[in-house]
A and B are shown apart, each in its own frame.
Chain A
Amino acid sequence: MSTTFDIARNTLLLPASLQDHHLDQVMDQLLAARIDAADIYFQSSRLESWVLEDGIIKEGSYNIEQGVGVRAISGEKTGFAYTDEIELPSLLEAGRTARAIARSGSRSSIRVRGMQAGRQYYEPINPLDTLTENAKIELLHRLDAEARSQDPRVTQVIASLVAAHDVVLVARSDGHLSGDVRPLVRCNVHVIVEQQGKREQGSSGGGARQGFQFFLDEERALGYAREAVRQALVNLDAIAAPAGSMPVVLGPGWPGILLHEAIGHGLEGDFNRKGTSAFSGRIGQRVATEACTVVDDGTLPGRRGSLSMDDEGTPGQNTVLIEKGILKGYMHDRLNARLMGTESTGNGRRESYAHLPMPRMTNTYMLPGTDDPGEIIASVAKGLYAVNFGGGQVDITSGKFVFSASEAYLIENGRITSPVKGATLIGNGPDVLTRVSMVGNDLELDTGVGTCGKEGQSVPVGVGQPTLKVDELTVGGTN
């Protein structure tokens, strides 16, 4: 079997007859200007998706995207150009455009050399080929049948399967050349239920950097269908959510979106270099209770947010952000690391060759504590237990963040009682974790559905946490 690096070279350079000395030529031309660093990012992506609705396979699509991005950095300045044509003349032209950021300089000569492969956290497979078309179709029909068989109140089922095969190659001005092959699959089930004119929805799904077999193992995909129906039916009976400040218990797994919004974005290196984050200049300070340790970990095998290498060729890493409540570090790409006098943490990511890299999260989660989840709930006299969420958002400067519960319950006298309607929760990032009084022993990661948006760029991410008790959080209900 060929290595990841060979696959990347053969996919991206061979069809255009590009050799190492051609890369040297582009790099030499870039460095003819006063450039501190430069890189060339080759990418070829294939995306396939199938959608079932009304019991039929309604749509399918196949998308091909490929190109090269050329970046030149001088101090804090970045010049960037890209082309959809992976050919030497287009590369040279993009290079000329990008280097215009710096006006003149000395010539140096660079030899681009392939690097020893680091650790791989996923197989270099093409997930599109891991199941026949007929088997993909059959899986979608099974999801439809499974959802409908759960309850006669199910009126609509939309199920989708998506696979992406992403091959990248990064050449840097320090001579580093490395490649990655990134498979990604995703499955989602959305249902509508109706009861006496009242309608509700439920949604569930998952994904991984694996082949489609992931969805067949342990009946995972069928589990999504059951879960979507369960959520929708719970919401049919939901009463108005409470409004105001109260204790909130967050379930394990996907509610870790709390960490992504409240903590994660504020610890990205670009905001901290610029001093625009509510966490700027707070390394070494207490930002959480002793029970909280939070990491950003790109090295979890096969996870949606994992990266064997980031989009600047830095190996994926496990970075401690908060250790026992003390802020330990930021997440960096190469540009911000250099300007802050530190090393990249393998968080330099970009949506595609047509976008500039910046510091982004991978899989962000809190390590387990020692509390029993049952005891956490029992400790609350009156509050909210939130187990499923839609999206979230943060203002990194004021630190205010939101995340929207899609499945939640009242806690009354230490017991989970009525389900309540979806409500947005709002808090302040720098102090929300100082109100975490209990941390469960039940760490879970999400099922592999997260997509993070920043400055118009989307990248796949993961989150996770054990059951958490936040002593005070504002709940945006109507009651």
Chain B
Amino acid sequence: MNDLKDRQAQLQQMVEDMLREAASQGASAAEAGVNFDIGLSVSVRLGEVETIEHTRDQGMGVSVYFGHRKGSASTSDFKPEAIRDTVRAACNIAKFTTKDPCSGLADASRMAGEQPDLDLYHPWEIEVDEAIAKGVECENAARELDPRITNSEGATLNSHSGLQVYGNSHGFVGGYPSSNHSLSCSVIGGKGDAMQRDYWYTSARSPEDMESAREVGRRAAERTLARLGSRQIETREAPVIFQAEMAVSLLRGLTRAISGSALYRRSSFLLDHLDQQIFPEFVRIRENPLLRKGPASAPFDSEGVATAPKDLVRDGILRSYLLSSYSARKLNMETTGNGGGVRNLSIDSGELDLAGLLKRMDCGLLVSELMGSGLNMVTGDYSRGAAGFWVENGEIQYPVEEITIAGNMKQMFAGLQAVATDVDRRGGIQTGSWLLGPMMIAGS
């Protein structure tokens, strides 16, 4: 793979050319971004190569402002004339949009200054044959674990390196390379009507931070085996534990509810909840965009605004929304540097590990999979398909499936009892398992 750092100057030049072109076509302000990503994706199945994909993605986008009128355009074409054509397309759009007093760049005073190196770029010079071997090793570890593993969807190794550059007419230009490598495995257990499937994956900025191929395969197989013999349970109300990977979705619900666009549209169940108690007092939720090697780290947001660590929830009280400059102006507030979303969110864990959390629950449902998208953002009403394990006397009794869990997210947050230490660190939202109060479980 080419060293992407060498390409950075070239992309920076493209951003500057786009901004200059926007000015020459009469725009009073503009912002532009360019990205470039190369990668390798290798899939194996039943010990043989299935696909080898060489990926190479590029794109550039520009937004132009004529006073408070905005237009945007983007292209995957990097030919020199594409810059002029793309800017022209954006300017043409801006002729038809309406003046919007909240529209525009973020304030110049908020632009990121010197940008810290967040250690996000660790390219992997992996050859195709080596990638195949890793995939085979991973899948074999899963298939050889137990004779009840009967089939496989295979293992996939992905390695990507990318570069993104953003600039705007305040004179801000910033960019950085980053990399991501992952290995996943999905296997099937049982036969006929009793088949079950599950998967596991590892993902990191640097190849040496990945779990080993054997470990990924073993965990995939263990998860599949644990689901064999799943049954439906009768409809009932019971406490629920969201296993760490699933608890991520609850924090994602929080970020959607406190995002500026949901708030100014009055379409959030946490509207007007700033400085109010939304979790029990022990809860602290923080964002750290500057985490070294972090899965979602960035020195500046999608508008060039400097990012910084902050508490979203402290002592259970909502301390900050997630705002871009646009949504901030709509709400008469200041941007929180969250243009483009939240970056490395985490909730502080308590003392218990997952086993301890099961003991504390004593009797209830451990949720290990969720299906569908049943969250009404306006009301917080929550209803999703689920699978997991029935727990009695603090111990897993048997796997369950074909059930739903329902409640209201506001009440689920308020009823949070403990967060375990089993933190899933693979994604931009990191949490341990959550023990919640009773929810309605629908089954037979």
- Chain B residue contacts of A475, Cβ below 8 A: 404, 442
- Residue B75 is within 8 A (CB to CB) of chain A in the complex: yes
The residue in B50, B55, B405, B440 that gathers the most chain A C-beta atoms within 10 A of its C-beta is B440
Given contacts A80-B51, A243-B440, A395-B371, contact A478 B406 (CB under 8 A): yes
A276 and B70 alpha carbons, distance in the complex (Å): 49
CB distance from B240 to the nearest CB of A (A): 13
Residue interface mask A122-153, B partner, CB < 8 A = 1: 00000000000110110000000000000000
Interface pair A422/B383, CB less than 8 Å apart: yes
- Residue A217 is within 8 A (CB to CB) of chain B in the complex: no
- Chain A residue contacts of B259, Cβ below 8 A: none
- Residue B125 is within 8 A (CB to CB) of chain A in the complex: no
The residue in B53, B58, B384, B443 that gathers the most chain A C-beta atoms within 10 A of its C-beta is B53
The residue in B383, B402, B407 that gathers the most chain A C-beta atoms within 10 A of its C-beta is B383
- Chain B residue contacts of A67, Cβ below 8 A: 76
- Residue B378 is within 8 A (CB to CB) of chain A in the complex: yes
Q: Which residue of B lies closest to A84 (CB)?
A: B76
CB distance from B85 to the nearest CB of A (A): 8
- Chain B residue contacts of A428, Cβ below 8 A: 402
Given contacts A398-B195, A403-B372, contact A62 B378 (CB under 8 A): no
Which residue in A65, A244, A274 is a CB contact (below 8 Å) of B442?
A244
- Chain A residue contacts of B109, Cβ below 8 A: none
Interface pair A77/B51, CB less than 8 Å apart: yes
Q: Which residue of A lies closest to B407 (CB)?
A: A478
- Chain B residue contacts of A61, Cβ below 8 A: 71-74, 90, 93
- Residue A200 is within 8 A (CB to CB) of chain B in the complex: yes
A197-230 contacts to B, CB under 8 A, are: 199-201
Interface pair B404/A426, CB less than 8 Å apart: yes
- Residue B5 is within 8 A (CB to CB) of chain A in the complex: no
- Residue A88 is within 8 A (CB to CB) of chain B in the complex: no
Interface pair A199/B52, CB less than 8 Å apart: no
- Residue B6 is within 8 A (CB to CB) of chain A in the complex: no
- Chain B residue contacts of A274, Cβ below 8 A: 45, 151, 153
A62 and B406 alpha carbons, distance in the complex (Å): 40
Interface pair B402/A474, CB less than 8 Å apart: yes
Residue interface mask A77-93, B partner, CB < 8 A = 1: 11111111100000000
Interface pair A276/B197, CB less than 8 Å apart: yes
- Chain A residue contacts of B73, Cβ below 8 A: 61-64
A41-100 contacts to B, CB under 8 A, are: 50, 53, 56-67, 76-85, 97-98, 100
- Residue A194 is within 8 A (CB to CB) of chain B in the complex: yes
Interface pair A60/B96, CB less than 8 Å apart: yes
- Residue A301 is within 8 A (CB to CB) of chain B in the complex: no
Which residue in A158, A243, A402 is a CB contact (below 8 Å) of B372?
A402
- Residue A476 is within 8 A (CB to CB) of chain B in the complex: yes
Select the stretch in A306-314, A385-393, A410-418, A457-465 that faces chain B: A385-393
Residue interface mask A233-272, B partner, CB < 8 A = 1: 0000000010111000000000000000000000000000
CB distance from B84 to the nearest CB of A (A): 13
Interface pair A201/B443, CB less than 8 Å apart: no
A162 and B408 alpha carbons, distance in the complex (Å): 34
CB distance from B406 to the nearest CB of A (A): 5
- Residue A421 is within 8 A (CB to CB) of chain B in the complex: yes
How many interface residues does B have (CB within 8 Å)? 78
- Residue B100 is within 8 A (CB to CB) of chain A in the complex: yes
- Residue B54 is within 8 A (CB to CB) of chain A in the complex: yes
Interface pair A192/B267, CB less than 8 Å apart: yes
CB distance from A9 to the nearest CB of B (A): 19
A430 and B192 alpha carbons, distance in the complex (Å): 11
- Residue A342 is within 8 A (CB to CB) of chain B in the complex: no
Q: Which residue of B lies closest to A423 (CB)?
A: B383
- Residue B77 is within 8 A (CB to CB) of chain A in the complex: yes
Identify whether the interface residues of A are mostly helix, strand, loop, or mixed: strand
- Residue A114 is within 8 A (CB to CB) of chain B in the complex: no
Interface pair A80/B56, CB less than 8 Å apart: no
- Residue B86 is within 8 A (CB to CB) of chain A in the complex: yes
The residue in B92, B95, B378, B442 that gathers the most chain A C-beta atoms within 10 A of its C-beta is B442
Residue interface mask B58-95, A partner, CB < 8 A = 1: 10000000000011111111100010011001101111
Given contacts A194-B266, A243-B442, A423-B374, contact A477 B406 (CB under 8 A): yes
- Residue B403 is within 8 A (CB to CB) of chain A in the complex: yes
Q: Which residue of A lies closest to B103 (CB)?
A: A58
A201 and B71 alpha carbons, distance in the complex (Å): 28
- Chain A residue contacts of B94, Cβ below 8 A: 60
The residue in A60, A97, A477 that gathers the most chain B C-beta atoms within 10 A of its C-beta is A60
Residue interface mask A163-204, B partner, CB < 8 A = 1: 000000000000000000000000000001010000111000
Interface pair A58/B98, CB less than 8 Å apart: yes
Interface pair A155/B266, CB less than 8 Å apart: yes
The residue in A66, A81, A155, A402 that gathers the most chain B C-beta atoms within 10 A of its C-beta is A402
Which residue in B58, B89, B98, B402 is a CB contact (below 8 Å) of A56?
B98
Interface pair B406/A77, CB less than 8 Å apart: no
Given contacts A57-B96, A400-B371, A477-B442, contact A63 B383 (CB under 8 A): no
Interface pair A393/B378, CB less than 8 Å apart: no
CB distance from A278 to the nearest CB of B (A): 7
A356 and B408 alpha carbons, distance in the complex (Å): 40
A74 and B383 alpha carbons, distance in the complex (Å): 45
Q: Which residue of B lies closest to A352 (CB)?
A: B76
- Residue A354 is within 8 A (CB to CB) of chain B in the complex: yes
- Chain A residue contacts of B401, Cβ below 8 A: 398, 400
A50 and B76 alpha carbons, distance in the complex (Å): 20
A475 and B151 alpha carbons, distance in the complex (Å): 32
Residue interface mask B135-176, A partner, CB < 8 A = 1: 000000000000000010100000000000000000000000
Residue interface mask B248-277, A partner, CB < 8 A = 1: 000000000000000001110001000000
A302 and B82 alpha carbons, distance in the complex (Å): 32
Which residue in A97, A199, A400, A422 is a CB contact (below 8 Å) of B267?
A199
Interface pair B235/A243, CB less than 8 Å apart: yes
A91 and B196 alpha carbons, distance in the complex (Å): 42
B285-325 contacts to A, CB under 8 A, are: none
- Residue A298 is within 8 A (CB to CB) of chain B in the complex: no
- Residue B397 is within 8 A (CB to CB) of chain A in the complex: no
CB distance from B378 to the nearest CB of A (A): 5
Interface pair A430/B153, CB less than 8 Å apart: no
- Residue A424 is within 8 A (CB to CB) of chain B in the complex: yes
Given contacts A245-B235, A391-B372, A476-B406, contact A59 B97 (CB under 8 A): yes
A451 and B235 alpha carbons, distance in the complex (Å): 32
Interface pair B93/A60, CB less than 8 Å apart: yes
A390 and B381 alpha carbons, distance in the complex (Å): 14
A400 and B386 alpha carbons, distance in the complex (Å): 10
B219-235 contacts to A, CB under 8 A, are: 227, 230, 232, 235
Interface pair B72/A59, CB less than 8 Å apart: yes
Interface pair B376/A66, CB less than 8 Å apart: no
Which residue in B53, B151, B230 is a CB contact (below 8 Å) of A276?
B151
Given contacts A80-B53, A245-B444, A402-B384, contact A426 B74 (CB under 8 A): no
- Residue B114 is within 8 A (CB to CB) of chain A in the complex: no
- Residue B209 is within 8 A (CB to CB) of chain A in the complex: no
Residues of chain B having any CB pair with chain A under 8 Å: 45, 48-58, 70-78, 82, 85-86, 89-90, 92-100, 103, 128, 151, 153, 188, 193, 195-197, 227, 230, 232, 235, 265-267, 271, 371-374, 376-379, 381, 383-385, 387, 401-408, 440-444
A-B contact pairs, 28 of them (CB 8 A): A56-B99, A62-B89, A62-B92, A63-B73, A76-B48, A76-B50, A78-B52, A84-B56, A84-B58, A156-B265, A199-B378, A200-B378, A243-B442, A275-B151, A354-B57, A393-B371, A393-B372, A395-B371, A397-B188, A400-B402, A422-B374, A474-B444, A475-B404, A475-B442, A476-B405, A477-B440, A478-B406, A479-B440
Q: 5 more A-B contacts (CB under 8 A) besides A400-B402, A423-B404?
A: A63-B74, A64-B75, A81-B54, A393-B373, A395-B197
Residues of chain A having any CB pair with chain B under 8 Å: 50, 53, 56-67, 76-85, 97-98, 100-101, 133-134, 136-137, 155-156, 158, 192, 194, 199-201, 241, 243-245, 274-276, 278, 354, 356, 390-395, 397-404, 421-428, 430, 474-479
